[in-house]
């Protein structure tokens, strides 16, 4: 049977998708821009549901099904949608996991149905995981191999085709290994470019002072990483490498300014490696091999590889740049909760702090604003003790060799803690 015939045989409509689900079922889905939004929206049409459990993270949209009390959503990383649903009393819970533990979780407690977004099929019958390899690739492949489970794809013409490492599956799956597919043309989740505040600009200036030509970089998401990239693009530094769970708009700024060569990484030289991308359509267009800009320079790989501290540590001068909420006098950092309120998650911060520690010349930078203003009152983020419920991400700085820098509005220099 030809690839196109296989494709057509496995194509189903949205009602058939619902028919394949059970009254009591367990599903998992990819995160952010890789979420199959058409399939998740369709879950609100389930009629015979008794109990459905959905494991996910960094929700792209407030899907109507998540207000159904019979659906339990479990997120490994809270974003704005999870916070809103949780604050509103819906059935949303947080599962504490480092990002490289997502795959381990779904393999230990395997969902019967695994869903993700794939690109259009190429002439050889392959579909790309595009900008979202992370914890989507391995669970989807494994579900497709198991006759008692389902691997259901949302094939989206707007999902970029992004190459991967051949030894890790090349970020693609053959149509014969997909159980069912639904077609979509829904736009991908975008993260707009952000304008930094004056405090964030000062923090970014301090971060740039800690970087050197030839460093291998990992950035988080938000105004500070984007601003750091803008500043770096205007310096004489260059020859940077990138090995990062996430690439966003700042990465594209560095690529366009010629600052990234990946020639001094010590591993995967000449290549940028990432687990998922979240940015503007301009970033997605750059990554898409169909447009000719990427040309195999930027590769997607599973998070179990990208975020493996042992792999991270093999890179030369690995520098992780992330953020936190508060730090106490002993050097402990709270990066995921505000008191008892879950705000984000463990994410990949711990993975990269540990990996950077063991990297030759490696180091970590944590960006924390010195104060926060709540209801017109100014509070310090440098405290003698955390408020009840605060979650400690990183233990004593002596154990992690982190250098914690804070912006003070009272001083032009960032005091060292």
Specify whether 245 is catalytic.
Answer: yes
Average pLDDT score over residue span 180-204: 94
Q: Which stretches of 139-267 are assigned E, i.e. beta strand?
A: 150-156, 172-174, 180-184, 216-219, 241-247
- Tens digit of pLDDT for each residue in 304-333? 999 999 999 999 999 999 988 899 998 889
**Which of 254-258, 385-389, 403-407 tops mean pLDDT?**
254-258
Catalytic residue among 82, 103, 245, 354: 245
pLDDT at position 399 over 60: no
What does the domain layout of the chain look like in residue ranges?
3-184, 198-407
Q: What percent of the chain has pLDDT over 70?
A: 94
The domains spanning 3-184 and 198-407 adopt the same CATH topology: yes
Does domain 3-184 fall under CATH 3.40.1080.10? My reply is yes
* pLDDT value, residue 393: 63
Give CA angle at 338 (334, 341), nearest 5°.
125
DSSP conformational letter for 69: T
Residue where the block lists tokens 């792999």: 311
d(CA 94, CA 34): 20
The model's confidence at residue 35, banded by pLDDT at 50, 70 and 90, is very high
Contact 145, 114 (CB under 8 A): no
Helices (H), 335-411: 349-358, 397-400
pLDDT at residue 56 in the model: 94
Tell me which H or E stretch contains 404: strand 403-407
Instruction: Output the CA angle 63-175-165, nearest 5 degrees.
Output: 90
**CATH (residue range 198-407):** 3.40.1080.20
Structure tokens at 150: 């389902």
Percentage with pLDDT > 90 across the chain: 82
Overall pTM > 0.95: no
């Amino acid at each position: 049977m030809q690839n196109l015939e296989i494709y057509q045989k496995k194509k189903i409509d949205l009602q058939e998708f619902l028919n394949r689900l059970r009254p009591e079922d367990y599903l998992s889905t990819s995160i952010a821009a890789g979420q199959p939004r058409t399939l998740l929206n369709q879950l609100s049409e389930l009629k015979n549901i008794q109990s459905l459990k959905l494991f996910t993270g960094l929700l792209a949209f407030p899907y109507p099904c998540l207000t159904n009390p019979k659906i339990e959503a479990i997120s490994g990383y809270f974003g704005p949608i999870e916070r809103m649903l949780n604050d509103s009393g819906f059935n949303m819970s947080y599962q504490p996991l480092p990002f490289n533990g997502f795959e381990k979780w779904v393999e230990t407690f395997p969902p019967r149905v695994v869903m993700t977004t794939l690109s259009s099929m190429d002439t050889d019958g392959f579909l790309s995981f595009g900008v979202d390899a992370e914890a989507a690739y391995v669970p989807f492949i494994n579900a497709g191999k198991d006759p008692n489970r389902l691997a259901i794809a949302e094939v989206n013409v707007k999902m970029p085709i992004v190459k991967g490492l051949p030894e890790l599956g090349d970020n693609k799956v053959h149509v014969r290994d997909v159980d069912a597919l639904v077609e979509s043309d829904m736009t991908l989740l975008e993260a707009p470019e952000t304008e930094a505040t004056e405090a964030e600009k000062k923090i970014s200036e301090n971060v740039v002072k800690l970087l050197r030509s030839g460093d291998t970089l990992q950035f988080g998401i938000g105004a500070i990483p984007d601003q750091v990239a803008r500043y770096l693009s205007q310096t004489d530094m260059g020859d940077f490498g990138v090995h990062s769970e996430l690439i966003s708009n700042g990465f594209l700024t560095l690529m366009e300014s010629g600052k990234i060569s990946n020639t001094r990484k010590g591993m995967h030289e000449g290549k940028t490696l990432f687990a998922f991308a979240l940015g503007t359509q301009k970033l997605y267009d750059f990554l898409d091999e169909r447009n000719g800009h990427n040309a195999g320079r930027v590769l997607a790989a599973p998070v179990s590889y990208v975020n493996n501290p042992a792999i991270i540590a093999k890179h030369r001068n690995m520098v992780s740049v992330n953020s936190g909420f508060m730090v106490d006098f002993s050097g402990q950092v709270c990066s995921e909760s505000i008191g008892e309120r879950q705000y984000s998650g463990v994410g990949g911060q711990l993975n990269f702090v540990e990996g950077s520690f063991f990297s030759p010349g490696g180091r970590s930078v944590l960006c924390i604003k010195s104060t926060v203003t709540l209801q017109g009152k100014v509070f310090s983020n440098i405290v003698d003790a955390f408020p009840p419920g605060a979650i400690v991400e990183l233990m004593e700085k002596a154990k992690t060799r982190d250098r914690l820098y804070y912006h003070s509005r009272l001083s032009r220099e960032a005091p060292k803690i």
